[in-house]
Structure formats: structure tokens, C-alpha cells
Chains A and B, each alone.
Chain A
Amino acid sequence: GDQVEQSPSALSLHEGTGSALRCNFTTTMRAVQWFQQNSRGSLINLFYLASGTKENGRLKSTFNSKESYSTLHIRDAQLEDSGTYFCAAPNTEGADRLTFGKGTQLIIQP
């Protein structure tokens, strides 16, 4: 089965509101990356975490390797936050590759 499970698959928010995206791992991961894929298809690096919590502007991410999950919180959502959000992780089986989740499609409405 999938090693990286993202939820929800889609989310609609009104401007100014917030929510959380989640990534569950079925195996031990040593780190997690979060990306935003914008309307042009480009992948924007949001966070890289080996543990703990990081914050950047209106975004905050937490990685709990022991309980095998990561979250991405968005607050005060803006129209430009629309896009698909992916989490990805390198697993611990000796392979230097990222395994991606299927993404959360986020739509911000005025």
C-alpha cells in the first residue's frame, strides 16, 4: 500500500480562514518535505523537517516521526494559496528517494 497518505484529498476555504492538512506514514520516515504545486505546475518548497515544528508566515508544519505523521497548518488563507499541496518523505530503507503523497487540492474562495 501507499507509504504516504495525505488527507483530505480536496479542501475549499474562504479567504481569511485556516485549516490543517495531514500526512500519515505507514513506515518510519527520517524527514518530511511539504510542497505547493501552483497553477503553472511548479513545485515550491515550503518546509523540510527532520523533527519538531517550523513556521513561515501563515504556514506552520509539524513532524512527529515517532507517531508517523506530519501536519501543515494554513491560517488567514489568501487566494494565492490555492494549489495542490504535497508531502513527501525519504524512507529509512537506505534509498535516497522521496515518496510523495497524492496531494491535497486546496481552493481558496473570495
Chain B
Amino acid sequence: GPKVLQIPSHQIIDMGQMVTLNCDPVSNHLYFYWYKQILGQQMEFLVNFYNGKVMEKSKLFKDQFSVERPDGSYFTLKIQPTALEDSAVYFCASSLDFYAEQFFGPGTRLTVL
């Protein structure tokens, strides 16, 4: 099936540092998403993104978070500064259309020390 790639697979950083998580969505997809999963628990929606803009964000999407996809390159999630509670696995997803099937990447495991 369609593949979403995420780089890196693991990231360990010190609290207060900045981190950028990269997502390479399915090539013809137009809608992009970030989700957060803590310790194999429930997946929680963070944000969705279309046509260069955030359409919707959840309360988990703190002010320290930002997303962008400059010039059709990686879709990125930036956290600046990081906090201990940001430790989680972050999944990127993409879909062809609004409300269409979403395809997920393998996740980036972020550890904030």
C-alpha cells in the first residue's frame, strides 16, 4: 500500500532543546496529519494541514509546536522548546482527500531527557 516515511526513527534530546520531526507523505496526497502516542496507549490527534495551512489543532498541540511543508518537501513538526511530557511516539499520516483513508508512517520515538 501507499507508504509514508518518517525521519528519524528515534530522537533523544535534552529538555529545552528544539527538535524537528520529518515526514515524507504519500506523493499525491494533499492532507497531512500528526498524531501522538504515549507508551503504546491511545493515539491522539494533534493537527491537520492542507494547502499550506493548519486546518485544525487539538489541545495537545501546544504553542511550542509548529508545522510546515515548505515547497512540497518534508512535512515537519517542530517543538521548541521541548518538555519532558513531549516524550512519545509521533506519527505522521497523509490522505488524498478530506475524510479519506489516512495512511500512517512508522513513527518517530522522541525521548526528552
Partner-B contacts on A (CB < 8 A): 30-31, 33, 35, 37, 40-43, 45, 48, 84, 86, 88, 90, 95-103
**Complex contact A97–B91 (CB within 8 A):** no
Chain A residues positioned under 8 Å from B106 (CB to CB): 40-43
Q: Does B28 touch A at the CB level, under 8 Å? A: no
Question: Given known contacts A45-B104, A97-B45, A100-B42, is B99 in contact with A30 (CB within 8 Å)?
Answer: yes
Within 8 Å of chain A (Cβ to Cβ): is B101? Answer: yes
B residues lining the A interface (CB < 8 Å): 1, 31, 33, 35, 40-45, 48, 55-56, 58, 89, 91, 93, 98-99, 101-104, 106-107, 109
Closest residue to A41 on the B side, CB-wise?
Answer: B107
CA distance A37 to B37 in the complex (A): 12
Q: How far is the CB of A51 from chain B (nearest CB, A)?
A: 14
Contacts A97-B48, A98-B102: A41 and B43 contacting too (C-beta < 8 A)? no
CB–CB A96/B48 < 8 A: yes
